[in-house]
Chain A
Amino acid sequence: MPIQILVLDDEKIVGERLKASLEKEGHTLEIFINPVAALNRIKEKVFDVVVTDIRMDDVDGIQVLEEVRKKSQKTKVIMITGYATLEVARESLTKGAFDFIAKPFKLKEIRGAIQKAEDALQAEEN
C-alpha cells in the first residue's frame, strides 16, 4: 500500500538515503531539512508516517511529535537520534511515538519500521 511519508532531518544525507529507497517501493515522500517548514507542512496535511530527527535547531523532534498528534492520532511517528538518552526515549514513548531509532542505523532498519507502520495502518483500517 503506497503511503504518504514526511521525513525531517537537518542532515541532508538522511533524507536522500531514504528518498531513493522508499520511492522505489511506491511511497510518496516529502523531505525537509528545515524543522519550521516541516511543522508548517504537518499543520496543512495529514501524513501516514512522519520520520523525524530529535535534536535540531529551533524545533526539536518531540515538538514535531506533539504537533503531529494534535493534527492526527492516526499518523505513525518514527523518531531518530544521534544522541540517544533514556529521558528522550521514554518521552518519545509516552508521547506516542511509533518507533525510536538511534544512529547509526542501516537503511533496512528504517524501512522495517516504516513497513511495521504500514502494517499497523492497514490493520487499523480493517
Chain B
Amino acid sequence: MRILFAADEHSYSTDALPQVARLGENTWADITLLGVSNQSKAMADIVNTYYKKLSEYFDPKLSPYQQSRSEGNMKTGIHKQITTRIRRGNPSREILEEAKKAECDLIVIGCSTQKDYTWKDAGDVPLKVAKDADCSVLVIKEDKKINKMLCCLDHDNISQESLEMVSQMITLFHADLDIVVLTDSEDVQGKIEKKLSWLIDYYSTRDIFPCIELVKLTNLETFVSRKVRWGLMAMWMGKKSILERVFPSSKVSRLLKANESSVLLLR
C-alpha cells in the first residue's frame, strides 16, 4: 500500500500523524509526507518535523522504515520508504497531482475539528481532495479511538480496492462494521440489495460480520450525526453514487457537515 499524508502547518495536521503512524506500522506502506505551501523554506522545516515525529513512533529494531540487516555484503530485510515532498501552488491540486504521481492507494489528510472540513489558511482543501481524488481518502478530524466503521452503501458499483481498504481499517482499529443501506432509490434498489447480500458473504467469509441498517436518504444526515460520533464514516463515492446525484452542488460536503467524526471516502 502507498499512503500520501498531505499536511499544512496547523495542529490538526500534527494530530493526524498518529493515525498515519498506525497505518504505516500495520500495513508497512510506503509513505509520502507532502507539505504544500508558497513559503517552501518554512514548509520544508515543518515536513522535516513531521518526518522526525513519525519516525519516533516506530521501533528502530523492527520498523521497515529504519531496519536493514546486513548479511555479507547484502542488505536484506523488508525496507519501506518514508519520502518527504514539498509543493508550491494550489494545495488541493498539488495534493491530487502528487497522489497520482506516487500512485497512492490512500490519501490521509487532517482538518479542523469544527463541523466544516477545512484547512485554516486554504479553505476547503480536505473536501476538494476527498471529492476529486482517484484513490480513497481518509479525512481525520481528531485522533480519537474508532470503535465502529459505518459504511454507506448507495450504489452497486464498488471496487475490489475499496473492499480491501475497509478490511484493513476494520483490522487496524479493531472496529465493528456497520453497512448502511440507503432505501429511497427505487431505480437501483434491486441492484443494491444484490450487492448487499454479496458484501455480507464477502466479509463473513473473512470473519467480519457486518451489522446492516436501512436508512431513508432523507434521514441520512440525522442518522449520521447521531451514529458516527465515536466512529469512522465511510462512503463509497463514485460516478454511480446516489449521494453524488442527491447533493449535486456540494456533493459530499453536506453529508460531511452533519458528521463530527473522521471520514473515509472509498474508491
Contacts and interface: CB of A to CB of B under 8 A. Distances in A.
Interface of A: 13, 55, 82-86, 89-90, 92-94, 97-106, 108-109, 120, 123-124
Contacts of A98: 76, 78
B78 A97 contact: yes
Contacts, number: 73
Nearest to A98: B78
Contacts of B164: 82, 103-104
Given A100-B64, A105-B105, A106-B105, A93 B27 contact: no
Given A102-B1, A102-B28, A104-B160, A92 B78 contact: yes
B165 interface: yes
Nearest to B103: A106
Contacts of B27: 84, 89, 102
Interface in B21-78: 25-29, 62, 64, 67, 74, 76-78
Contact of B78 (A82, A86, A93, A106): A93
A105 B76 CA distance: 22
B167 interface: yes
**What secondary structure prevails in chain A residues at the interface with B?**
mixed
A38 B168 CA distance: 25
Interface of B: 1-2, 25-29, 62, 64, 67, 74, 76-78, 103, 105, 160-162, 164-165, 167-168, 171-172, 206
Contacts of B165: 104
A87 to B, nearest CB: 9
B98 to A, nearest CB: 16
Contacts of A94: 62
A105 B29 CA distance: 10
A89 B26 contact: yes
Contact of B167 (A92, A97, A103): A103
Contact of A104 (B62, B77, B105): B105
Given A93-B77, A98-B78, A104-B161, A84 B172 contact: yes
A99 B27 CA distance: 11
Given A82-B206, A104-B164, A106-B103, A124 B74 contact: yes
Contacts of A86: 25-26
B125 to A, nearest CB: 24
Nearest to A14: B160
B78 A100 contact: yes
B1 A103 contact: yes
Contacts of A108: 103
Contacts of B160: 13, 104
